[in-house]
Amino acid sequence: MPPTLEPIEPPPDAPDLNVPDQKLLECLRERGLKPVPDGKDAWQTGLPGLRLERREVMVVRMGGQFLGHVEFVISLDHPTYGKHLIGDLVSLSGPSGTGVLAECVEVFCKMTFDPVRALFDEALFASPTNRLVSVADPGEAVAWNVYAWGIDARGPDLAVLQPRLEEVNLLGLIGGTLASYLLQPKLHWCKLYGENHASHERQFGCIFDGHREHQAVQEMAHGLNLPPGPEQWSYRGFMVLVPHGEPEQAAVDELRADIAALPPAPRPWWRFGKPEPRLMWKTV
């Protein structure tokens, strides 16, 4: 006779893998939304043109801690800013696998979903986190709304990191990379992150409109200017930028004067080519 296989009972602290979906629906309803299922692991949020899909869920135990991540894709079809896919993966650690998964969803909803949701909500749209003016040479001046719910910073050694984050701020961390995207007056989105642990080298990352930006990685390392050390910290930020309204004339005049004071842009080696456009921006 073949051996009888007894069912294996999961350990008492095994994470509940249904939690991400349950927590996501809870977070959406807390925001006054009425999510409706739309295929496997996906929901229409109740805002026309805004759909959410939950993808990979993972939890591993490492000693006394659980490391988990949850991946989402936001699909937006906006009447002004068009169609976009925004992917995000949130990774966190903690003493409970179920708790880590729930917290990943909470961070995603606050840091990533809410700035996107602002494009579909009149009250939120009218109160951007920042307003920018950009001026290109040659080119026009553009006013921008920025939606970003701050920086999520964690770790036992935040005292090392927090003062620098407050001084440099989210926009300043990647100001040069940001300028290259502001040359295109359309919707842009950006995710950036950094971490430092004793067990591996310091890491930074930036994804702009779905593309990894290596220049931004260098900008963050240089802008934070933190000496190497065993401190443990991490941060993540997310922002959506859209052209909206008319630029303030005083800001435009100031930026044009700053550009005029720059040395002439080098001409390309190809004799029929034109210099790359230059752009400067400022918050207003």
pLDDT tens per residue, range 83-126: 999 999 999 999 999 999 999 999 999 999 999 999 999 999 99
181, 46: one domain? no
* pLDDT tier for residue 53 given thresholds of 50, 70 and 90: very high
55, 154: one domain? no
- Range(s) of the domain holding residue 28: 12-126
64, 166: one domain? no
113, 136: one domain? no
**Main-chain phi, psi angles of 173, to 5 degrees:** -60, -30
59, 136: one domain? no
Listed residues 88, 105, 126: the one ending a domain: 126
Give yes or no for residue 201 having a pLDDT over 90.
Answer: no
36: three-class secondary structure by DSSP = strand
* pLDDT tier for residue 138 given thresholds of 50, 70 and 90: confident
Q: Is residue 3 part of a domain?
A: no
114, 147: one domain? no
| Domains identified in the chain, total number | 2
The strand pairing partners of 276, in sequence order, are none
Mean pLDDT value of segment 272-279: 72
Mean pLDDT value of segment 189-203: 88
245, 211: one domain? yes
In the chain, the percentage of residues whose pLDDT exceeds 70 is 91
176, 281: one domain? yes
H helix or E strand, kind and range, residue 194: strand 188-197
Cβ atoms < 10 Å from Cβ of 277: 12
Listed residues 126, 159, 177: the one ending a domain: 126
188, 226: one domain? yes
Listed residues 80, 106, 126: the one ending a domain: 126
Q: Is residue 2 part of a domain?
A: no
Token reading at 284: 């207003």
Say which amino acid occupies 93: S
Q: Is residue 63 part of a domain?
A: yes
Q: Is residue 7 part of a domain?
A: no
Contact (CB, 8 A) for 216 and 247: no
